[in-house]
Structures are given as structure tokens and as C-alpha cells.
Amino acid sequence: MKKNKETKFIFITGGVTSSLGKGIVGASLGVILKSKGLKVTLQKFDPYLNVDPGTMNPYQHGEVFVTEDGCETDLDLGHYERFIDENLSRINNITSGMIYSEVLAKERRGDYLGNTVQIIPHVTNEIKNHIVAATKQNDFDVIITEIGGTIGDIESLPFLEAIRQFQFENKENCIHIHLTLVPYLNSSGEFKTKPTQHSVKELRAIGIQTDVIVCRSSKIFPQEIKQKIALFCDVKTDDVIMCPDAKSIYEVPIYLKNEAIDTVVLQKLGLSQSNSNLVEWENYINIIYQKNKPEVNIGLVGKYTALSDSYLSVTEALKHAAAANKCDCKITWINSETLHQSDGSKKLDECDSILIPGGFGDRGITGKLIAAQYARETNIPYLGLCLGMHIAAIEFARNILNLEDAHSTEFNPNCNDPIIDFLPNQKQLSEMGGTMRLGAYPCVIEQNSKLFSIYKQKEISERHRHRYEFNNAYKALFEDNGIKFSGNSPDGKLVEVIELTDHPWFIACQFHPEFKSRPYKAHPLFFDFIKQTLKLTSS
């Protein structure tokens, strides 16, 4: 296996419980290493058998994050991009489903020359190839690889075995970080190290000795807890890093740096120590923790409102935009399935503006139409993202153009006025996974538009994930009645953005701008949405 000699590898596993935030810890370490001038990337291995999370219900798995190259990936990739401020690609998220598909395709082609195909070595080799492939993208100094799941899961075993082998083959260039939980027991007033000890023991049983242990805890624990963990787990006290709960995930890089994780990691990888600072992060944190800022209340109307992770990039983009506007952003979650005409406006009345994010399927569509109508009629800002654009167009067609049966063929294939219809290449498709219009596409902006005043650019590029689009047969009718098609594909065939001409701020786009927002580089569309909302609430 050929690999770049200089690249260093950091593997991150998690123990004790899931949801400890391996992704945030990995991304935060990436931030610190990048601030030292190292070229860093992050990779996630997901042990489930889906080829990608694109076909999974957001209730189970949270948001599907879309990369520039159109890969549907785990939401941790969103954290990675937002933290290290680099665009990632399909090589950065590998699933068991992908690995097995590749192994089975090779087997069918006869590539294994009559051998029995087995988890070790065939599946593990395929996994190792993917680690090396990630380094080839851009000659990285460091690649941080997160193994999804928790130690003890059956399905992550092939990945752990692969990294065990990889570490053995590349001893000088690898370290292992294990993330655990140190619970605090209120009843006895003590921090407990036993779960960490057990998790490290479990790792050792599969042949991995961790180099660094990052301990999540509800609050700061004393030095003797570190000493105890070090003693039982065969690491130095300095290699035990404390990571107490933070009010904002964007504070974690600062926490980890204060614990000198960078000194420990660089020394173990044989890289030279160098100074760095996290000024941008500190400034960002200072702004978001500042007290008595004005607040805007955004009504987020969706059907997965019980699990905010389903709209993670949207809520993060709103937070970034609020920080850039030096205000707080309260999100009022409105479940579109329970938003009925009679009581709808009560919930909507609380909101300063409305955002309808992306979505699939006809559940909750009526509630979303009510919300879009409310924003249009009451002149409060409206931002529609993908499905949110379809909703805006349907509502306008029904209530302004009097096309009562206007709909998207996604929800009613036989409607009289299919103002939203299949993209031309989608009609014949039979497979669901990975077949939408995905990833970055250019959009040309009409100069005489609100959109142009926001982006201040004639051409932009944004990420997409959809099967349906605005039906051009209706374009003239919409234009004649107050809709501006302010963003279009360069060939003019696909509508990318619509806006209402006689409304203070009503913009809906076919793309997903949320994927490109970064904490201290708010996305222009979200920035302006919050800015306008703030202006209206303070006037």
C-alpha cells in the first residue's frame, strides 16, 4: 500500500456512551493544528450498512450534510467543515455499506482470484485503502479519522481492526485518542473513573492502546482524577485531557488548547511544537456570550422539529448570522403538521420572521403553506430553502394567481397546475440513493435584485439536494404578478432563486446555503435575513 510518508494519522474512538461529541473533539483538534500552519483534514468512518445516510430518516440520523462534490454525508462532516473551514468531499465519509459494496463488486469481477473473501484481510484492506486515499487529496500533514459508534459495538469491529493494523504498520505516524465520559455522581459528590477504565480495557482487548484520553464531564474535575485515569489506563497524566460541558460547541477548541492537547499530540507524532492562537474563535465566543444583546425570534417551520439535529446546518447558520449581527437568535420550532389555519397565526404571531427548510414527502405541507402565506401577507422576512422555495411558489400560485390546484408533483402527481415538477433527468430513475441533483452548481444573479444586493456578485455557487424544480411553463405568469426570478442556472433552464418584488424580504432558493456558513464567516443570505429581521423588530 503506497502512502504519503509525511502524513500523520490521528484516530479517534469513543467509549462509555454515544453522543459524547467525537466529531466536535476531532474538529476542534483540527482547528488547533490548522492554526499551527499544518494542512489538516478530517474523515469519518460510519459503521452502518447504508451506503450513505442519504436514504435515512433525519429522525434517526439527523441532517444529511451535502459536500461540494455532491456526496450525502453524516452531519459530523458539517461540523468538520465549519470548524476547519475547508470543503470536504466523498473521500471524507466512508460507511460499512460503501466498503462492502466495493468488496462485493471486486469479488463479482473476480479480482480476488479464487480466494475466500473475508472481513480480514479483504474488508480491513479496503478500509485501510480509504485512509490512505484521503491523504492523497491534498498532501495533508495530518488526517484525523473518527470511528463512528462506541467501543463494544459489533458493527464497528472491522474498522477498529483496520486501524489496529494500520497503526502497527505506521507506528511512527499514528496516535490514538479515546473519548470517554467521567460522570459526576450527585449522591456521593464524586467523579467516577471506572467507566473510562472499562472502556480503555475493552480497547486493549482488541489490540489498541490509546495514547490520549479525552474525558467529557459535566464540570471541571480535579487533577487527582486525571492521575487516577493515567495510572489505570497506561498513559501519562498530561495525556488525560479534560473537556467539560461548554455552553457553545465553538468553545471546545479553546478548552482543548487550554488543556495543551496540541503539545501532547505534536510531541507524540514527532512534529515540531509551534505557537498559534485562536483569536477568531475567542472573538466569536466573546460575541455570543455577550449579555443583553437584542434578540430575534425565528420561526422554523418543519416536520422534524422534535430533533433539532435534523436541521443542524440551518440552525448553525442562523447562529453564525446572529453573531455577525451582534444579536441573539431564538429559534421557535413550529411543527408544520400541527399548524392549522385556525390556530396557526397564534404561533406565527410570536415570530419575527419565518424560515422553511428543506424536506421530503407530503406530511406537514399544509402547515408550511400557511406559514409562507403568513410571512407574505404580514411583510415579515421569509427565507425558503429548497422545499421552502417550492412552498413559497405553490402558495403564491394558489393565493395570488388563483391556481387553486397548483402543487408540486412530488405531493400530487395529477394536479392541474404542476408548478413544481420533476427535474428532466429524474423521471426515469428507479433508485433512490444518490440520484438527486446533488452538490455545487453555479447560479447567475439578476443584477437588479435583492439577491444581488446581498451577494454583491454576478455568479455564485451553492450546494443542492433535490429532485423537483420550478416549472418554467409558469415563469411568465409569475413574473407578471410580482415574482422576480433573481437567480438562475447559467443556461437559464433552472430557477435557483425567487423573490417577491413588493415585500421587504421574501427570498426562497432552490439550493441549500446553510452548508457553506462558518462560525465567523456568516453566510450572506442568512446574514441579511437576520439583519432585516433585526431592523424590523427594532423599528
Q: Among the options 178, 407, 512, 523, which is catalytic?
A: 512
Of the two residues 21 and 359, which places its CB atom closer to ligand GLN in the complex? 359
Q: C-alpha distances in angstroms, 143 versus 44, 216, 273, 437?
A: 11, 23, 18, 30
Question: Which residue's CB is nearer to ligand GLN, number 221 or number 468?
Answer: 468
Please tell me which residue in 63, 126, 259, 514 is annotated as part of the active site. 514
**Angle, helices 365-378/341-349, rounded to nearest 10 degrees:** 60
Residue nearest to ligand GLN (CB): 358
DSSP 122: I
Q: Which of 386, 415, 443, 509 is catalytic?
A: 386
Instruction: Fill in the DSSP letter of residue 51.
Output: S
Strand partners, 420: 408, 470
- 359 interacts with ligand GLN by CB under 6 A: yes
Task: Compare residues 26 and 358 and give the one whose CB is closer to ligand GLN.
Answer: 358
Query: Looking at beta carbons only, is 311 or 505 nearer to ligand GLN?
Result: 311
**Of residues 493, 481, 478, 484, the one with CA closest to residue 449:** 484
Crossing angle for the helix pair 194-205 and 223-233, nearest 10 degrees? Answer: 30
Residue 448 CA to residue 464 CA, distance in Å, equals 24
Q: What is the 3-state secondary structure (H, E, C) of 415-450?
A: CCEEEEEECHHHCCCCCCCCCCEEEEEEEEECCCCH
CB-nearer residue toward ligand GLN: 363 or 458 = 363
Is 512 a residue of the active site?
A: yes
Identify the residue among 410, 496, 499, 514 touching ligand GLN (CB under 6 A): 410
The minimum distance between CB 126 and ligand GLN, in angstroms, equals 31
> Omega before 121 cis (within 30°)?
yes
Give CA angle at 408 (407, 414), nearest 5°: 75
C-beta of 410: minimal distance to ligand GLN in Å?
A: 5
Residue 386 annotated in active site: yes
Q: Minimum distance from CB of 492 to ligand GLN (Å)?
A: 20
CB atoms < 10 A from the CB of 263, how many?
12
Q: Least distance to ligand GLN from the beta carbon of 356, Å?
A: 9
Task: Supply φ then ψ for residue 205, to 5 degrees.
Answer: -60, -25
Q: Kindly state the cell numbers that stand for 8.
A: 500523520
Residues 365-394 close enough to bind ligand GLN by CB under 6 A: 386-387
CB count within 10 Å of CB 465 equals 21
Q: Can you say whether the dihedral through the CA atoms of 137, 138, 143, 148 is positive or negative?
A: negative
* Angle of CA points 249, 255, 261, to nearest 5°: 120
Q: How far is the CB of 58 from ligand GLN (least distance, A)?
A: 11
Q: Which of 192, 264, 197 is nearest to 230 (CA)?
A: 197
Q: Shortest distance, CB of residue 464 to ligand GLN, whole angstroms? A: 8
Name residues contacting ligand GLN, limited to 339-358 (CB under 6 A). Answer: 358
- What residues between 266 and 325 interact with ligand GLN by CB under 6 A? none
Q: Which is nearer to ligand GLN, 160 or 387 (CB)?
A: 387
C-alpha cell at 41: 483534514
What Å distances lie between residue 5 and 66, 121, 135, 136, CA to CA? Answer: 31, 23, 10, 11
Least distance (Å) between residue 54 CB and ligand GLN: 11
Cα 275 to Cα 38, 142, 210, 281, 442: the distances in Å are: 12, 17, 26, 16, 39
Radius of gyration of the chain (CA): 25
- Residues 459-478 binding ligand GLN (CB under 6 A) are 465-468
Q: Cell triple for residue 345?
A: 397565526
Cα separation, 116 vs 394, whole angstroms? 56
191/470 with CB nearer ligand GLN = 470
Site for ligand GLN (CB under 6 A): how many residues? Answer: 10
CB of 424 to ligand GLN, least distance (A): 13
Q: Which is nearer to ligand GLN, 148 or 357 (CB)?
A: 357
Cβ at position 376, least distance to ligand GLN in Å: 19
Q: How far is the CB of 62 from ligand GLN (least distance, A)?
A: 15
How far apart (Å, rounded) are the C-alpha atoms in residues 5 and 225?
Answer: 38
In this complex, which beta carbon is closest to ligand GLN, that of residue 191 or of residue 529?
A: 529
Of 143 and 498, the one with the shorter C-beta distance to ligand GLN is 498
Convert 93-112 into a string of H (helix), E (strand) and C (coil): EEEHHHHHHHHHHHHHHCCC
Catalytic residues: 386, 512, 514
Binding site for ligand GLN (CB under 6 A): 358-360, 386-387, 410, 465-468
